Structure 1
Amino acid sequence: MNNSTTPVVVYVTYVGTPQTRFDRNYYVTSHLPLVTQAWQLYGLLSVSAFFPALDRAGTIAICECVFRDDAALEAAFAAPESAEVMADVANFTDLSPLRARAVEL
């Protein structure tokens, strides 16, 4: 179990094919700044995007969101600003994002 002072990492992944609509430029220059603006005041520490080197079916984008702690994660996803973040997904892809919380090994 995560204690309240340990950062919490959430991975948001997008799974598709090379033909799937995913605007990387919009994602990096518009969506991620929106995520930062919306959730930073609730305890988001950092956000990073990663893209596979090869175009093939599977994961086409990964976002790593690091939150201050459990309370920050819960507050951010429950915040009214989250509706705008989620609505913005349609501006860069038709995919539904998948979220997974990382756990320490």
Structure 2
Amino acid sequence: MPTLVVSYPLGDGTEFDAQYYVETHIPLVRTCWTPYGLSSAEVLLPQGDQPWHGAVLLRFESSAAIDAALNGIETPKVMADLPKFTNIAPVIYRAF
């Protein structure tokens, strides 16, 4: 299943509010991108000493659905929410 992986790497001075991410940001992502074909959003939070704060696996119906979501009119709303829980530029890539 086409997947958009969004991760937040650990680094000096990085901040990441996992509670806000899980309780507010991910529901916003679901609301904005489900109409474009988002099937699921699986949040991953590290255990122990890891090089990242958190990540999400966003599974879509198709690669075209990923493109549609990223170009959707709601995406600026998703991106504007980032500073509310992190100061990290997310690392985003696609997987299948």
TM, length-normalised to structure 2:
0.92
Quick one: which of 16, 22, 26 aligns to 2:10? 16
How far residue 82 of structure 1 moved from its aligned partner, in angstroms, is: 0.2
Identify unmatched segments of 5+ residues in structure 1.
1-6
How large is the Cα RMSD of the aligned pairs? 1.5
Q: Deviation digits for residues 64-101 of structure 1, max 9, x if unmatched?
A: 00000011111000001000001101000000111111
| 1:52 partner SS | coil
Identity %: 35
Unaligned runs of 5+ in 2: none
User: Which residue does the alignment assign to 1:3?
Assistant: none
Amino acid at match of 2:94: R
Aligned pair count? 96
Counterpart residue type for residue 44 of structure 2: F
Any residues of structure 2 matched to 1:14-93 within 5 Å, and which?
14-17=8-11, 20-56=14-50, 58-93=51-86
Task: Report runs of 4+ in structure 1 exceeding 3 Å deviation.
Answer: none
Larger Rg: 1
